[in-house]
A and B are shown apart, each in its own frame.
Chain A
Amino acid sequence: MAADGSKHNTEDYLRMYRQMVRIRAFEDNANQLYLSAKMPGLTHMYSGQEAVAVGICEALTDDDRITSTHRGHGHCVAKGADFKAMFCELLGKAEGYCRGKGGSMHIADQSHGNLGANAIVGGSMGIATGAALTAKLQKTGHVAVCFFGDGATAQGLWYEVMNMAALWKLPVIYACENNGYSEYTKTEEIAAGSLTARAEAFGIEAHSVDGQDVLAVNELAQKLVARARKGEGPFFIELKTYRYHGHHVGDINRDYYRSKDEEAAWKTTRDPITNFGKWLEGQGIVTADELVEINNEIKADAEAAVAYAEAAAYPPGEEVDAHVFAGVDHALTYIDGAAK
């Protein structure tokens, strides 16, 4: 672990540990829902990347905004979301964060500043930068963090908005989770040169950090967020991490693009939760038994939330044309003038 322990108190450490375990527990349950055919559609697992979302989101307030990706459950949990409303959303239930209209790939939690997952790779780069523009114009002191993967660095939109963010010194942090794979293709096959150099070409300060080390991520995030608030942004962070599952839950046989040995090596030696747990033990902050207790408590929470979501009601049919337009109860009568 890279961090200087004196900068944190025990409470912060344990919260970070718990948040990482909560993400893992959420994903384990989401995966089971898919495998048991209880979840409509499919989903993309965040497992393995927990230290990225937690390390960064722990440096943010509820008023700071994030934009998330199709692999977005981790960001949502880390930003403070509740298990029940999340599982309800994954199952298309009315009590979901988006009343069942978004699902896994569009989950948003406005109450904690999560502007939403996005199913277009790189699609939220403009949104995050625009949130930072509002922060600057309205002098709110808020920061926006744009999460995206290495695959999204191939989208032109990123270069357009980085250019403007740099020109206008916007309080936005571009957080690239480099998990080594752009869907089913190795990153080195889709990315020429260096990712940090791309940001640096715009005069943006760029950092590369071990995305499996929550303290290293958090330490860097704390510094950059504080500087962004003072108008020293934008910043770019490349977080080197690993995706335990396939591109999505149905991507089971993936020998053709990566080996089981490689996956096993990351899981056994680089796991962000196991390694942070060991560090906490080593520092005398927590005992092995206490970690097991935390893990079990969170596991039980997640299972209870799944049971709650399974029993929850679907949205009524009449909501299908609600929320198309703000201020319009039913879009279908609105668009043909019948509601006039």
Chain B
Amino acid sequence: MTREITLSKAVNEAIAEEMRRDETVFLIGEDVAEAGTPFKVTSGLVEEFGTDRVIDTPISEPGFVGMAVGAAMTGSRPIVDLMFGDFIYLVMDQLCNQAAKTHYMSGGKLKVPMVLRTNLGATRRSAAQHSQSLHALVAHIPGLKVAMPSSAYEAKGLMKTAIRDDNPVVIFEDKLMYNDKAPVPEEEYLIPFGEANVLREGTDITLIGTSSMRQVCEKAAEALAKDGISAEVIDPRTLVPLDEPTLLKSARKTSRVIVVDEGHRNFGVTGEIASRINEKAFYHLDAPVLRLGAMDVPVPFSPALEDLTVPTPDAVAAAARSLVAGEMTHAA
């Protein structure tokens, strides 16, 4: 049986199911208990699992992330709620120097099975310190797995996989999608890491979209179809590991690729994926691989400015038309 539930509810269900399944799993973070987080994602969990397993913390991000690392090293499976993705900067040492490297530095003797769930996404009028999409920062660090759910279905399946993983996993949910509904099975399912999802098959161009950029790509593909352009849409679902074979297969088939991601374009996820396609599918390409990311400016507050900074379906479709028409030109 499948019903439609919000992304928020999907995450909640995943956490509750895994907490019922394994009593070493606990949730820790700011206002995760009675408040259920500002986005109400964890509402109801404290009523079922109690304050020992749904732990409200002081506003001390490095402190509780560090404690999650230590708890994970000693037989617990913590899920850390980091209220905004922007706060990743506060926890970089604990996440990147400690959690990411412990298994390696110990020669495989210590494990850090923890999940850090946080969010990304602009256009919520929250300005520069509550709107960033910083997944590229952690995807850069060996030892961290990075998941990017693109709908309620992915949010639930990837979260359950993350909680059962023996490694630190960072999950970025798009904070603008918490109320978006999608079909989610009643029965249990998990989505393995490293398996991209081909959402729409096409022959003229491949649109690779992470997180909510998947929907942006799908809308662009619909518009392109009206122009007679057949676009394939792929959601990588996880950045680390990245399902290169699926992306390369599509690139070789369509010969044109646009990568769309809401992180900043400079030195980001789009550049990484484009580069891998260039390295491994170059002779199958008819055009340069294009990157569409967040504009390389801090996220502005004014709606008139903020809306200019993120990729839109129109922008993706326009870029696709240009590629398919062979209009890409290079500076002399």
Interface residues in chain A, defined as those with a beta carbon under 8 Å from any beta carbon in chain B: 65, 67, 96-102, 106, 108, 110, 115-116, 118, 120, 123-135, 137-138, 144, 156-157, 160-161, 163-164, 167, 322-327, 331, 334-338, 340
Contact = CB atoms under 8 A, between A and B. Distances in A.
Contacts of B70: 67, 115, 124, 126-134, 144
A129 B113 CA distance: 17
Nearest to A326: B166
Contact of A323 (B65, B66, B78, B107): B107
Contact of B98 (A97, A123, A135): A123
Contacts of B111: 326
A161 B67 contact: yes
Nearest to B247: A337
Contacts of A144: 70
Interface residues of B, number: 53
A336 B52 contact: no
Contact of A134 (B71, B105, B142): B71
9 contacts: A97-B107, A101-B106, A123-B93, A160-B58, A164-B60, A164-B64, A325-B143, A337-B243, A340-B243
B106 A340 contact: no
A325 B103 contact: yes
Given A325-B167, A335-B241, 19 more contacts: A101-B106, A110-B106, A115-B70, A116-B110, A125-B66, A126-B64, A129-B63, A131-B71, A133-B67, A137-B52, A137-B71, A137-B76, A138-B24, A323-B103, A326-B103, A326-B167, A336-B244, A337-B246, A340-B195
A60 to B, nearest CB: 14
Contact of B58 (A65, A164, A336, A338): A164
A137 B54 CA distance: 11
Contacts of B24: 138
A325 B97 CA distance: 15
B117 interface: no
Given A133-B76, A137-B53, A326 B245 contact: no
Given A120-B97, A134-B71, A163-B60, A126 B107 contact: no
A337 B74 contact: no
A110 B242 CA distance: 32
B109 interface: yes
B105 A126 contact: no
Contacts of B98: 118, 120, 123-124, 126-127
A215 B52 CA distance: 38
A97 B245 contact: no
A180 B110 CA distance: 32
Nearest to A132: B70
Nearest to A323: B108
A116 B64 CA distance: 19
Interface string B205-236: 00000000000000000000000000000000
B242 A335 contact: yes
B145 A98 contact: no
A66 to B, nearest CB: 11
B145 A325 contact: yes
B176 interface: no
B130 to A, nearest CB: 21
Contact of A130 (B60, B66, B108): B66
B240 interface: yes
A337 B93 contact: no
Given A123-B93, A126-B62, A164-B67, A108 B52 contact: no
Interface in B64-113: 64-76, 78, 93-94, 97-98, 102-111, 113
A168 B243 CA distance: 43
Contact of A340 (B57, B65, B78, B245): B245
B66 A126 contact: yes
Contact of B72 (A99, A118, A130, A156): A130
Contacts of A331: 142
Interface string B275-286: 010000000000
